[in-house]
Structure 1
């Protein structure tokens, strides 16, 4: 891994968006090599140990799911209107997002990934 800003690293680890990771840093919840970090411009590399709330975080492995989306499902992972959606077909501990979208009544290949 090349050197990168801490908020980006946390985001790649699946912690939260970069903006939310910035807030976690400002809230003094993130440490690097045992030192609490409050500077948003700190960079890390693969030799550093990064912790959030005293739990080690590390980059997620990339996950790719290729799905033959059936007719009648929305291309969302959850739906505010409780409509049937592709998220109902994925285990809850897999954190992926659809790449693009297919209409509810369209069938076809749908790619989901955390990359």
Structure 2
């Protein structure tokens, strides 16, 4: 397997339908962050001539594993989300909507990282 083939296999994923698709944006973002954390440049190209690939593509499996590990929330994350949720009830639409999803997401990630709540 060439370097390009290996990188391509890391940078591609199976969809639910079984077809090969591009890496989801969040996995790419995490892979790029991992490269930066290890002191590299995500877009650095590795390889020779036509057998080359961006460095971040080699971190896709680690990014996938890191995100999958967060599937089950811990108590800190659940507590932070519970404290932050704001729901707007709309009887005319027979629905209820979370009005601060962005703030909840950020608070949940901060809790998962062990960061104290940001000043409000």
Q: Normalization by structure 2: what TM-score?
A: 0.28
Higher relative contact order at CA 8 Å, sep ≥6: structure 1 or structure 2?
A: 1
| More helix, by proportion | 2
Q: More strand by proportion, 1 or 2?
A: 1
Q: Which has the larger radius of gyration?
A: 2
TM norm structure 1: 0.29
